[in-house]
Structure 1
Amino acid sequence: MNPLNKVIRHLYGKYLFHISVAEFDPVAEFSQKKIAVIGAADTALIKSNREIIEASDIVIRVNKAPHAWEPSLDKYMGKRIDILYHSFFENEQSGGGEIDLDLYTKFGIQKIINPNNNSLGRKAQLNFYKRKKQRIPTYLLNKEISENISSRFGSHLPTIGFYALASSLIPQTEQVFIAGFSFFKTAYYKGYRDHLEDQRDNENHIAAQGLHSPDKEFQVFKDFLRTSPSKKIILDDYLEKIIEPET
């Protein structure tokens, strides 16, 4: 690409970013509602949670969830996705997978949220518009809330799934149901990241990236649980089991 075309592409991407991206405020969106946050750990498949998920006002999933869904998962976690938290890194190996609008429409996804409201996250979102070359409504997590979450991690970054967890525990919701988060103590469910289906491979991948700290995430998660103003918090069986001995 010649220098002039590169400049034009960059400026057009910035224009699309400016007219397409809105702020997402979970306090305004989630307050007094029943929220379900579903992660990608295989612990989501221990037993059926479909009924409580589908009865929620808002169902939140993360990154590659639409790509990984198949009919056999329905009885455990339903299919519905209202809000998708996504890194805006579209690579398949470690990113959030392709932002496929046709696929997302089939799931009824209403909002795509980038929770990384920092220079790295905004750059990823800008590059998304430079690739797509069209106006697509997306969202950036409220900056104050994004920084409230990320500031607890020092040199590490929260995962996209953790942003979804934390931002659902900040508002005064009617109920929050959480399933499919094991803080990397178990594997992903089949279809999500099959190249990391083995737990040891996943641990090595996290260590090689050096971006995230699963142990820190678990500790900060417990902090959010303790301070959440939610009227009711329901954890899946796995989370209930690992939280209970420490409370």
Structure 2
Amino acid sequence: MFLSLRIFNLKRHLKDKRVAIIGAADSVFDEKNGDYIDSFDVVIRINKSALVWNKENADYLGSKFTYLFHSFYENNYSGGGPINFKEFKKLGIQNLVHPNSDSKGLKAHLNFYKRHLKLKKTYILSPRLYKKITKELGCFQPTVGFSAIYSALNTDCKELYLTGFTFFKSPYLPGYRDDLRDTISNKRHIEKQGIHDPDVEFEVFKNLVQNSGNKRIILDSRLRKLIT
């Protein structure tokens, strides 16, 4: 891990770039925006997105992968999903990023290397940025998707497009976590975990967007309705 782990300099990677972040909510299937997504310089996807993507849904999801933000938990319970470097490379994923850089995140990273025993370069967010994110949420740990959004909103990217995020107010897209597609079941699952609070994340997100000086923040129709 000490030979492979690096800090991901998001500000450098996203500066003056058009960036799209694709979440796992079913709202990604509201419109066929695949070509639009692929037109962005950088496309960030979350957790199991590489596993559920296929050519049949590319009209909606696009086919471009630049960075994958991942929890580094590969079990079904956490929702991260298996990490397969060979498949990730085929999809064009350049960097695998674990946003959580506190002690829990480093432990998850260490366990990842124990499982795989491979010298593979992986990334975490800077401790300073991660502390900034967690300070906004109080005692709750950010979800991987929220970490990606918050991080991008704190860069000088030229444009930011967000789709597939409803802060758990709608089901996951089909095939992503079918055991939790029912919103009530998913809410109970989140409460049982006790580490995330999507409602707090949503309020922080709204404030970030409404107070942002970046006028080129584009939200899909479902997310736009949620914050108005």
Note whether the superposition's TM-score is higher than 0.5: yes
Preserved CA contact (<8 Å) 1:50 1:78: yes
1:68-105 C-alpha deviation (Å, 9 max, x unpaired): 11233211111221100001111123231111111111
Equivalent residue in structure 2 for 1:95, among 50, 60, 79: 79
Normalising by structure 2, we get a TM-score of 0.96
Match of 2:119 in 1: 135
The whole-number CA distance in structure 1 between the counterparts of 2:164 and 2:93 is: 19
- Structure 1 residue 226: deviation in Å? 3.0
The whole-number CA distance in structure 1 between the counterparts of 2:86 and 2:16 is: 31
Match of 2:177 in 1: 193
The whole-number CA distance in structure 1 between the counterparts of 2:214 and 2:43 is: 16
1:82 aligns with 2:66: yes
- Structure 1 residue 51: deviation in Å? 2.3
Preserved CA contact (<8 Å) 2:21 2:45: yes
What is the number of residues matched between the two proteins?
A: 228
Unmatched 5+ residue regions in structure 1? 1-16
> Considering only CA atoms, is the larger Rg found in Structure 1 or Structure 2?
1
- Structure 1 residue 211: deviation in Å? 1.1
Equivalent residue in structure 2 for 1:209, among 193, 196, 214: 193
Of all paired residues, the percent bearing the same amino acid is: 41
- By percentage of residues, which structure has more helix? 1
Equivalent residue in structure 1 for 2:14, among 27, 30, 36: 30
Preserved CA contact (<8 Å) 1:36 1:58: yes
- Structure 1 residue 231: deviation in Å? 4.8
Q: Which amino acid aligns with 2:63?
A: K
- Structure 1 residue 40: deviation in Å? 0.1
Match of 1:11 in 2: none
Equivalent residue in structure 2 for 1:181, among 155, 165, 168: 165
Equivalent residue in structure 1 for 2:95, among 95, 98, 111: 111
SS of 1:156's partner is: coil
- Structure 1 residue 227: deviation in Å? 3.9
Normalising by structure 1, we get a TM-score of 0.89
Q: Which amino acid aligns with 1:240?
A: R
The whole-number CA distance in structure 2 between the counterparts of 1:117 and 1:85 is: 13
